[in-house]
Amino acid sequence: MAVLLNAGSKVLSVNGMGAYGSSQVRFMREFGTNIVGHVMPGRGTQALDGCPIFGTIAEAVLETGANAAAIFTPPMGLRDSVIEAAHAGLGLVFAAAEYVPLHDVAIAARHARDAGMWMVGPNSTGMATPGEAVLGALPPGLTLPGRVGVIGRSGTLTINICHLLTSAGLGQSTVVHIGGDVICGRNPHEWLGRFIDDAATDVVVYMGEPGGSKEYAMLDAIRAAGKPVIALIVGRHVPRDKKMGHAGALVGSDSESAASKISALREAGAVIARSPFEVPVLIKQLMAEHGRSETA
């Protein structure tokens, strides 16, 4: 997964000069992320923290050679920022904003996909390749370089799983919180495909929740994976037609329940964890079965 985000990634901060964005930019730089410029329309050719400020993403890409961006544009403007990033030729963007209108996300995601750009989010905590770079706010102290790929629908759960893995000495190849909204820039099965193809990942952990049908698109990939996939689906007792936290966590039919998803994933060959605490235990068991004592 370092092909998407690594120490060599050149990252732009887009509309990240407000209180929230600037704090996250400082956090990313402390992690080691190579921030090469800021994009803020109307701010001219100034500089901030030693990085130039540009009026457009296209101008910033031309001048810096950037290939990724952390976008902190507010919800109502996110669509335009993502489209601009796609047209500028970026390969990866992180979209932090929550409460982005559904039709805006759909349009932005289509432009990103058509351009071959991978979008993390919106409504995402971020993405990290431990020891190399982070987009967003995944705490570096809770991650560890290693060979476990982590895909999460919940930001809090993603962070907690990283903490449990790291505490157990199980490092991560890349961690991605794909976003909690109904529409994501890329869906779980697409991320799973990248981890399956990644030679630096030995086992994949997927964390889902009730609502939607995204997990069912993962089944064929799990069957053909050639490496273990551990699935943790939370919300087994969520009542029907009641939204639980995320916009996408709404059970509208039996197939959208945690129980139905768990059954389908297990049948496809995924190893099912019933709690976050089981995840590191299961990984160590799988590694022992494959003749490995650790993945870090």
Q: Which residues are catalytic?
A: 246
A 10 A CB-CB count for 235 gives 19
Determine contact, residues 267/279, Cβ cutoff 8 Å. no
Pairwise CA distance, residues 271 & 66, whole Å: 39
DSSP result, 232-259: EE--TTPPTT---SSTT----SGGGSHH
Residues in the chain: 296
Helix, strand or coil, per DSSP, at residue 295? coil
Short-list 194, 207, 213, 214, CA closest to 233 = 207
Short-list 221, 181, 166, CA closest to 95 = 181
Pairwise CA distance, residues 21 & 135, whole Å: 11
Return the amino acid letter for 87. H
Pairwise CA distance, residues 245 & 257, whole Å: 15
CB neighbour list of residue 56: distance below 8 Å, 6 or more residues apart: 39, 41, 84, 88
